[in-house]
Amino acid sequence: MNALRSKHLLGIKDLSGEEIQLIFQTADSFKEVINRPIKKVPSLRDITIANVFFENSTRTRLSFELAEKRLSADVVNFSSSGSSVKKGETLLDTVNNILAMKVDMVVMRHASPGAPHFLAKHIQANVVNAGDGTHEHPTQALLDTYSIYSKFGSVEGKKVAIIGDILHSRVALSNIFALQKLGAQVMVCGPATLLPRYVKQLGVQVSLDVREALEWCDIANVLRIQLERQQVKYFPSLREYSLYYGINLKLLNSLSKPITIMHPGPINRGVELSSDVADSEHAIILDQVENGVAVRMAVLYLLASKHQN
Candidate list 177, 234, 235, 301; residue touching other proteins; CB under 8 A: 301
**Per-residue binding letters, 4-43, with other proteins (x by CB under 8 A):** ---------------------xx-xx--xx--xxx-xxxx
Pairing of strands 260-262, 219-222: parallel
Residues 247-286 within binding reach of other proteins (CB under 8 A): none
Question: Are the C-beta atoms of residues 161 and 220 closer than 8 Å to each other?
Answer: yes
User: Closest separation between CB of residue 307 and other proteins, Å?
Assistant: 7
Site for other proteins contains 206 (CB under 8 A): no
User: Closest separation between CB of residue 24 and other proteins, Å?
Assistant: 12
Non-local CB neighbours of 164 within 8 Å, separated by 6+ positions: 189, 190, 194, 222, 223, 224, 225, 245, 272
Site for other proteins contains 231 (CB under 8 A): no
Nearer to other proteins, 70 or 282 (CB): 70
Site for other proteins contains 309 (CB under 8 A): yes
- Other CB atoms within a 10 A radius of the CB of residue 15 amount to 22
Residues 90-129 within binding reach of other proteins (CB under 8 A): none
**What are residue 175's phi and psi, to 5 degrees?**
-65, -45
Q: By rule CB under 8 A, what count of residues binds other proteins?
A: 22
For the residues of 216-240, what is the DSSP string, one character each? H-SEEEE----GGG-SS-SSS-HHH
**Per-residue binding letters, 41-80, with other proteins (x by CB under 8 A):** xxx--x----------------------------------
Non-local CB neighbours of 46 within 8 Å, separated by 6+ positions: none
User: Closest separation between CB of residue 75 and other proteins, Å?
Assistant: 18
Non-local CB neighbours of 63 within 8 Å, separated by 6+ positions: 289, 292, 293, 296
Nearer to other proteins, 75 or 252 (CB): 75
List the 48-53 sheet strands across, edge first: 74-79, 48-53, 105-110, 126-132
Pairing of strands 74-79, 105-110: unpaired
Catalog residues that contact other proteins under the rule CB under 8 A: 2-3, 25-26, 28-29, 32-33, 36-38, 40-43, 46, 301-302, 304-305, 307, 309
